Structure 1
């Protein structure tokens, strides 16, 4: 755990240290963000609540392209909590040229319904943009990483240990393209392979409503090749949210 915290601190500090120097020399910055919110509430014979929020921020400064992502999901059915997930990510990309870059990534997830209190991963590696034009982006990232997972109390008692940690091979494939002047299709695959294979796929279509406001439909699939006892390998999530860009 100490190794993970040290690596995370270095990764988080690197983009900001580089930013200070780049800002002094160039001073050319751009910032963009997407905020999403979706909710479903039913009352009467069936009482359910579902909330989904997401804030995705991107910052360009000199040779650095950085992303800061926050996600939250909460579900309740007849007064009983049936889903809860919080996720945060920070990634800094240092551009060697228009298509090649080095990345440093740190992310943390809290999802008690998987049997883990939390999961943290740090990774570094190489990225390449195979396509990068105003309408389409196709990029791939690969590199080594380190993962730490802390079991919840029930899982600790059953397994007889507190945590799992391992080196992983980290990979990302990101594809985005404009379907029309008012709609965009996105496909994101993320995978970490160590003692087990953990993957995440997000497929989404965004359609503009008016100005900076859009409607987003997304299907998220999470996979773990070796889940804890009494847990399923695959989780799916379907969302319809409003998205505001600024």
Structure 2
């Protein structure tokens, strides 16, 4: 196994006590916040496996709330995230689920503001690393550790090629790419992780492409 840097070995700079239950939880919450693109009015955290059993003792509650508020893994405000959430007017609920899942550190975050709702399911795989496994019913594999684009589009010929060409034109290398759809010819989701941050001009070019419905940028 080849590590990208020393931080892949020792883990991220973080507020403890646990890289899996605290740093990982905060990162899942932060990616969910970036996907939602605003602070939600109400959040439900469905906790599975060890997250459900030990979330209070390991600070998972505070970490998830802090992530959704936009706090990074090293932000000391994670420790008192419920106070900040209440001050911001955000309501939340933690639900301990008994369902058996494939990974013990699993959370489904349901964010709502008005008529806008988004469901994000993530797992904490250790060392502060996470994977986002599902977004609004779409299966995906997003690490949250690299800049990425999530492109919701109509399932049409040429959309994927046009997005890839826009990145190639700016010499932005694709590290991982995944496409999923619920039904042929309907709505599809393209996930592209890249090596470098994506500039506004490239983002606008992809957003303006035919059959593209929504583009969300995830920061490293």
The TM-score normalised by the length of structure 2 is: 0.29
**Structure possessing the higher relative contact order (Cα contacts under 8 Å, 6 or more residues apart):** 2
Higher helix proportion: 2
In the superposition, the TM-score normalised over structure 1's length comes to: 0.27
The structure with more radius of gyration: 1
